[in-house]
Structure 1
Amino acid sequence: MFSVQRIYDYTPQADSTGVFLDRLYPRGVHKELMAQVVWLKDLTPSAELRRWYHADSGNRYAEFAARYRAELLDPVHQAALAELWRLSQARPHTVLLTAVKQPEHSHIAVLLDYLHENGEHGSVQNQN
């Protein structure tokens, strides 16, 4: 089962794995917390795509989602996806962590859709 949570609200639990899915280090998060999560930078959108999207995020989400889905098919992203699947098998709950304010309009939402379409049979919960 996957759920989504902002890294700022995250508290590690024994029965879950926290996976941070942003390219940049989250401001204000202590190194001790980051040491308790897995950081999969290679599963994030490319720097170019991220910059393009943030230049006009209000009007570019659909195109961003399509471009990110295309990136998810490259070998680097596929290897990171394989690691995420492996981590999700190890514990009953995987928490996808992000620093973005609106995960439902970010790469996290696109990734969740991709995971469901490509094999995840558990449920997804957004924990704000």
Structure 2
Amino acid sequence: MIQCKRAYEAAQPGDGYRVLVDRLWPRNRRKELLPLHAWLAEVAPSTALRQAFKSKEMDFAAFRQAYRNELAAHPEYWWPLLEKAERGVLTLIYAARDEQRNNAKVLAEWLEEALERRGDQSSPTCYAGERLG
């Protein structure tokens, strides 16, 4: 199970594996007061992408697609999170104010899709050359 939680919310026993998925440390949050198992800055959107979204140069749909492109280019950054999600609760910690439109939500969606693909027992190469409906 994958869930998202703001860095300013209290940790709960059911949070499971807590990982900060922002490139920058959350403002006004002392490190010793933010319980985490890991901080994976590299899985966060690139600095240029983060700044473009924050400055409103791009809307959320464009940000979401650009971030998904970054994730596709670097599976080594997010692949270890799949095992955590398969074994129990994975909580993605983020600092954004918007609880619906943020990088953690996009990453959670991406990971859920990857988990679904891993669950499929057939290989995409099995369908090479076949026409799909």
Answer whether TM exceeds 0.5 for this pair. Answer: yes
Pairing 1:81–2:60 present: no
Task: Decide whether aligned partners of structure 1 residues 120 and 20 sit closer, same or farther in structure 2, where only a CA change above 3 A counts.
Answer: farther
Equivalent position of 2:130 in the other structure: none
Whichever of the two has the greater Rg, that structure is 2
Equivalent position of 1:24 in the other structure: 24
Detail structure 1 runs of 4+ shifted over 6 Å in the superposition: none
Equivalent position of 1:62 in the other structure: 61
Pairing 1:43–2:43 present: yes
Tell me the secondary structure at the aligned position of residue 72 of structure 1: helix
Equivalent position of 2:95 in the other structure: 99
Tell me the secondary structure at the aligned position of residue 69 of structure 1: helix
Larger strand percent? 1
Cα RMSD (Å): 2.2
Q: TM-score, normalised by structure 2?
A: 0.76
Tell me the secondary structure at the aligned position of residue 22 of structure 2: coil
Tell me the secondary structure at the aligned position of residue 110 of structure 1: helix
Aligned-pair CA distance for 1:79: 1.1
Aligned-pair CA distance for 1:86: 2.9
Return 7-16 or 39-48, whichever deviates more: 7-16
Q: What do the CA deviations read for 1:1-39 (whole angstroms, capped 9, x no partner)?
A: 111111111325377111111110112222223463311
**CA contact under 8 A between 1:12 and 1:18: conserved in structure 2?**
no
Unmatched tracts of structure 1, length 5 or more? 122-128
Aligned letter for 1:80? Y
**CA contact under 8 A between 1:7 and 1:98: conserved in structure 2?**
yes
Total equivalences in the alignment: 117
